[in-house]
Structure 1
């Protein structure tokens, strides 16, 4: 788990102290889509801040593969039943949109933790 994710409460508290004017415009770690009317999102949408780590993406792939392997080994799943549709369904990250911005901290510039299809529209700083 990342340092930021572990210290999310402290980050929120500091943000509230430094920029109390912006608090009402931010949703922290919500996996829900912004409210919309007739498919149109409100122009005053809030910024959805998600603190993700490798367990939210690549870690999820690893866990899925391990659980499928256990199910096949125990005879509860036929390898023929593992299809693209099953994998897509199990890997669905409900409500997590492709990130618009990723902040990289540390000494290594890496996309560690982001799924490959999330990086195509992401700006990295």
Structure 2
């Protein structure tokens, strides 16, 4: 009987220690991420967590087809992607729901000091690019991230243009020919991560020929998104093995 009580006491003690350790870990995580609402304001601490990621996406696409666009939150995602050294971020809406000019002006208002590190790509006109460089105020333009806005036209028109070019080609039809035509018409690397904002995991026609090896993750909403949620998505991606068509 004594041995049974001793065993039960040991088990209860182990559970208590485990729960206390878990509680301390949870408190630590909460405190940390409260401090890191914007990693650019606490770089020394954030750097350690950034380099804990085994990998980051080379091309991140954020799909906001299921929500009204919050430009303030898109700006945060751009800044955080820059901090995590993600070289390309694209925002996708299948019904032309993203206004490139608003993306630029809201970002400029919030993060003007980061403008020298940005390259404005697809759908950003020459006026925006000129204004961006003109707003650098003496700093050297050294872009480390490219920002794009994608719509359904980049999928539907791409398909039409590819078919037309393949049909008019004198080369024998092959996978290499199709890939070559796609690369010429749409010179953007395939996204290795798509974050879908909303309840359902649907692509809404996003780049059908560019998502063969893409990882898809869900973010319930991009409204008031916190860095901790964004970082957790990057952690999940970092742990996953890329499918490469498997």
TM-score range (shorter-chain normalised) is 0.5 to 0.7
Structure-2 change in CA distance of 1:12 and 1:64 (3 Å):
same
> What residue number does 1:33 align with?
none
Structure 1 equivalent of residue 111 of structure 2: 19
Candidates 134, 159, 165, aligned match of 1:61: 159
Unaligned runs of 5+ in 2: 1-94, 123-141, 220-246
**Pair 1:68–1:20, CA change in 2 (3 A):** closer
For residues 69-89 of structure 1, give each alpha carbon's deviation from its aligned partner in whole angstroms, at most 9, with x where no partner exists: 9x6xxxxx59x9551133222
Q: Which runs of 5+ in 1 are unaligned?
A: 31-43, 72-76
RMSD, matched Cα: 3.4
Q: Structure 1 residues 101, 81: CA separation in 2 closer, same or farther (over 3 Å shift)?
A: closer
CA distance in 2, matches of 1:100, 1:11: 23
Cα 1:19–1:83 change in 2 (3 A) is: same
In structure 1, the residue matched to 2:173 is 83
- Which structure has the highest helix share of the two? 2
Provide the aligned length of Structure 1 versus Structure 2: 102
SS at match of 1:96: coil
Relative to 1, partners in 2 of residues 1:113 and 1:90: Cα closer, same or farther, differing over 3 Å?
A: same
Shifted more, 100-109 versus 20-29: the winner is: 100-109
